[in-house]
Amino acid sequence: MTVTESKIIPVFIQNVKAILRDEGPTERGLELIADEMRWLLERGDQVASPEIPRGNIHTRRQAPPLYTDETGLTLAQASFPPDHMTPIHSHGSWGIVGVHKGTDLYQEWRRLDDGHGAGPARIELVDERVLRPGDVAIVPPPPQDIHAQQGYGDETCYEFVLFGKNVMQLPRLYFDPEREIAEEVVLHG
């Protein structure tokens, strides 16, 4: 499919909305949306903002979303430097992470207790992998939307991230596995 530069994001969002309408954010639906993210990544140089702040969706220096709407569906860009891992965290939404440039050390965590919010929280590392350009990771719906990441090697990782809710406005949880606690944090862009 040939799509002009100005229509790449609208076509991506239209396809994602059709999947959500037909499948919802089910396992199958998220797999189909991950395929759409791969399509977007193939065209990433045409739509990536040249000005991603040195920071990411865990700092106060966030780039404005590439797309957001009244339902909360949000497409954003993020960068993750190689010098430190993000806190282990959740966003309160399912998501699809797609690596545009660089490499990403991506950790998936799972909550072992019955909790959904702040307070006592037991978690375990489920998977750790290196994502390269074109790779995607599916962030499951809450309460299992727990992950951490950083640029891998000496590279900053640049990503597109699609969320089912506008996570730039939602509180998120930061987890401390040693203290077995989750703390609510609010960041503003």
Domain that holds residue 139: 52-185
Q: Is residue 104 part of a domain?
A: yes
Q: Which two tokens stand for residue 60?
A: 């106060």
Q: Is residue 106 part of a domain?
A: yes
Specify the pLDDT at position 4. 64
Q: What is the pLDDT of residues 121-172, one digit of tens each?
A: 999 999 999 999 999 999 999 989 999 999 999 999 999 999 999 888 888 9
Q: Is residue 8 part of a domain?
A: no
Total domains in the chain come to: 1
Q: 60: pLDDT confidence band, cut at 50, 70 and 90?
A: very low
Q: Is residue 108 part of a domain?
A: yes
H-helix or E-strand containing 16? Answer: helix 8-23
Rounded Cα distance between 41 and 67, Å, is 15
The order of strands in the sheet holding 67-68 is 67-68, 74-80, 157-163, 95-101, 136-139
**Which residue's structure tokens are 């440039």?**
101
pTM over 0.95: no
For the cut 60, the answer to whether the pLDDT of residue 103 exceeds it is: yes
CATH number of the CATH domain containing 122: 2.60.120.10
